[in-house]
Amino acid sequence: MKKALLLVLGLLASCASQEQRIYAERMAAAKERISTADCGSKPVFHRSMAKTVFDTVLKDPDTARITYHDLQKGWVCAGIDDPGVFCWKMPVTVNAKNAFGGYTGAQTWDFWFDNTQMLAACDGDGRRIFTLPAGERVGAKAAAPTK
């Protein structure tokens, strides 16, 4: 029984590493083209969309000290079956109080947008907290190479 469990865990680990390898290859290919990529029109309400995420996930959003950084060209992928899209990336530095009333320390979150939608968001630890599935994107620009 233990051997079967170890085999299953080993297979799951290899699947995860396979997916990470494929994502890393796609990311590398996209980085080569990112400076010339067509990301579409810059988003207009990107700050308010990011603020909505903070209002939802932070313990005490009213205490948040938020610094929005300039938009830059980016690329995001929703999963192994998604070729990814070129879009606009906005880093945001946030420092907010935790449940104990102390500030957590500044963390940089990343948000990806097209003209009208938030495509994905990662928290300060790099965990994906939101991803818009590829089939729900409206007017996404220039799929990245699938290599």
Q: Is the pTM of this model over 0.75?
A: yes
End-to-end CA distance of the chain: 39
Task: For the chain, 147 residues long, give each residue's pLDDT as a single digit of tens.
Answer: 555 544 443 444 444 577 777 777 877 777 788 888 888 899 989 999 999 999 999 988 999 999 999 999 999 887 777 788 899 999 999 999 988 889 989 999 999 998 889 999 999 888 888 888 877 877 655 454 444
Structure tokens belonging to residue 115? 């003209």
CA distance 138 to 129: 20
Provide CB contacts within 8 A for 33, sequence distance 6+: 86, 144, 145
Output the 3-class SS for 20-56.
HHHHHHHHHHHHHHHHHCCCCCCCCCHHHHHHHHHHH
Domain regions of the chain by residue span:
2-143
